[in-house]
Amino acid sequence: MFSDFDFEVIVSALPFLWEGMMFSLGLTLLAMLGGIFLGTLLALMRLSPFKILSYPAGAYVNLIRSIPLILVIFWFYFLIPIAVKNISGNPYAAGIGPFYSALIAFTMFEAAYYCEIIRAGIQSVPRGQVHAAYALGLNYRQATTLVILPQAFRNMIPILLTTSIILFQDTSLVYVVGLTDFMGAASKIARRDGRLVELYLFAALIYFIICFTASYFVKRLQARYNVGRN
Amino acid sequence: MIEMKNVSKWYGSFQVLKNCSTRVKKGEVVVVCGPSGSGKSTLIKTVNALEPFQQGEITVEGISVGAPGTDLPKLRSRIGMVFQNFELFPHMKVVDNINLAQIKVLNRSSDEAHAKSMALLKRVGLEAHAQKHPGQLSGGQQQRVAIARGLAMDPIAMLFDEPTSALDPEMINEVLDVMTELAREGMTMMVVTHEMGFASRVAHRVIFMDQGEIVEDANKGDFFGKPRAERAQQFLSKILHH
């Protein structure tokens, strides 16, 4: 099987694959930042004593978490242009393009997962810390941003990063809306040159190296935090 | 200065505070004692609205704590509070713990806040530890920082919720010394504590609570001389003769 393994194919495809990798990493990073921001808001809403905030956030999180990611990507790609047309009343209104629709889909999807992590992180901050912040005269916003969230995020960093590693793998789903990420690039070359074994093995190897290395660093980070806490 | 009238509070159907009434005058030191679960901590936390209550009225310098329109952050910023578990913010340096509310709540400049913080750290004997994180300090040191953090707001009164209960015995006195000095300077203080030595030396009045009720509210001499309530007598004999 490996007797006719052709490394040349991979070498010549490297620039194209590199472009795909930059796309994957970029999308991961943007969706992660957006997801954590939105997830934080959702978590604060879910923890709010006001039902008008906590119920919609809870419903959103439970809905999104019950739907496959690939469906969410489809929805945003096909439904957002329709929504834009209906809202603007302009039947010729342009869509936002596959990249932004995918970015929004990933952000909204990941936000639901980040929300649950961040909610647990906020709840892990002792009640006494909240009392101490309020006793000093800080208001809700100040107590949250200056005292609670910094501690919550410190506890959450390992699991947030782990979730982001999975997000990185999931970005390969963007092929369904015609975008070319790393996986898509490998797939295109593989079919063009008829070199499925080489390209898919190479893609798997690269995913493995990146994700394994990242997981390793997350573990080290976690160990360091645990030591610091005792 | 602090006035409580018929304050009652329930957790579900369980009543934790029953018609509690008392007042703390300016410059007065009031010790609140009683068996655990008697509602002392809850009572003191109603004063700055960390614990809501369902019935009665509490006023601090005439401002109603329970009224819906009260600016709670402003009210709280004028009352210092020290907790059993210190509750310093672990992600900030010691000095930043003390700076934080001065800058964010009182809008002091960072230079002004820093100078105040350092002066207070010096006062509690910890200026050398300003740049450390709370986790690097002993319990007694952390509690002194917590007192400094409360004092930085130039409070009109200080609340202490079992300030020495989480401390190793050898550290209790360093905290009580700071509190004693504070009392000598005329600070209005409400102190939940089991330290009867502190109460007999420093307090003006002692409140004894049991099962959510204020059973005895007497001048120090009367309380330690001959408490009227039987439950207070039993409590005193238990903790003074161990």
Report the residue from B45, B85, B105 with minimal CB separation from A136: B105
Coil, helix or strand at residue B238: helix
Query: Quick one: tokens of B192?
Result: 């939940």
Torsion angle of the four alpha carbons B227, B233, B236, B240, in this order, in degrees rounded to the nearest 10? 100
Report the pLDDT value the prediction gives residue A222, as an integer from 0 to 100. 81
CA dihedral over A193, A198, A201, A204, signed as positive or negative = negative
Task: For residue range B24-77, list pLDDT tens digits in order.
Answer: 999 999 999 988 889 999 999 999 999 999 999 999 998 999 888 899 999 999
Q: Whole-number mean pLDDT of chain B?
A: 92
Task: For residue range A118-144, list pLDDT tens digits in order.
Answer: 999 999 999 999 999 999 999 999 999
Measured at the CA of A113, the angle between CA A144 and CA A176, to 5 degrees, comes to 140
Report the pLDDT value the prediction gives residue B224, as an integer from 0 to 100. 84
Query: Quick one: tokens of B220?
Result: 């120090």
Q: How far apart are CA B77 and CA B84, in angstroms?
A: 19
User: Given pLDDT bands bounded at 50, 70 and 90, which one contains residue A88?
Assistant: confident
Q: Which of B77, B86, B91 to mutate to test the interface with A (most CBs of A within 10 A)?
A: B91
> Strand pairing of B205-210 and B29-33?
parallel
Angle between helices A149-170 and A7-46 (to 10 degrees): 140
* Smallest Cα distance from A160 to chain B, Å: 19
Torsion angles phi and psi, residue A6, rounded to 5:
-110, 100
Measured between CB atoms, does B104 come within 8 Å of chain A? Answer: yes
Q: How far apart are CA B107 and CA B198, in angstroms?
A: 36
Q: How far apart are CA B62 and CA B56, in angstroms?
A: 15
Report the residue from B73, B80, B149 with minimal CB separation from A138: B73
User: Given pLDDT bands bounded at 50, 70 and 90, which one contains residue B242?
Assistant: low
Report the pLDDT value the prediction gives residue A230, as an integer from 0 to 100. 36
**Stretch B141-159: mean pLDDT:** 95
Q: Whole-number mean pLDDT of chain A?
A: 89
ipTM of the complex: 0.93
Residue ranges per structural domain of chain A: 7-229
Report the pLDDT value the prediction gives residue A1, as an integer from 0 to 100. 55
Among candidates B72, A139, A36, B153, which has minimal Cα distance to A148?
A139
* Smallest Cα distance from B137 to chain A, Å: 13
The runs of H, that is alpha helices, within chain A are: 7-46, 51-65, 69-88, 97-123, 127-135, 140-142, 149-170, 182-193, 196-229
Task: For residue range A162-212, list pLDDT tens digits in order.
Answer: 999 999 999 999 888 888 999 999 999 998 888 888 899 999 999 999 999
* Smallest Cα distance from A145 to chain B, Å: 12
Task: For residue range B197-228, list pLDDT tens digits in order.
Answer: 899 899 999 999 999 999 989 888 888 887 77
Q: Between residues A221 and A41, which one has the greater pLDDT? A: A41
Among candidates B10, B170, B192, which has minimal Cα distance to B83?
B192
* Residue percentage of chain B with pLDDT more than 70: 99
Task: For residue range B130-148, list pLDDT tens digits in order.
Answer: 999 999 999 999 999 999 9
> Position A23: which residue type?
F
Torsion angles phi and psi, residue B61, rounded to 5:
50, 45
Question: Residues of A at the B interface (Cβ-Cβ below 8 Å)?
Answer: 126, 128-129, 131-139, 142, 146-147, 150-151, 154, 228
Q: Which CATH number fits domain A7-229: 1.10.3720.10, 3.40.50.300, 1.10.20.10, 3.40.640.10?
A: 1.10.3720.10
Task: For residue range A33-45, list pLDDT tens digits in order.
Answer: 999 999 999 999 9
> Strand pairing of B205-210 and B213-219?
antiparallel
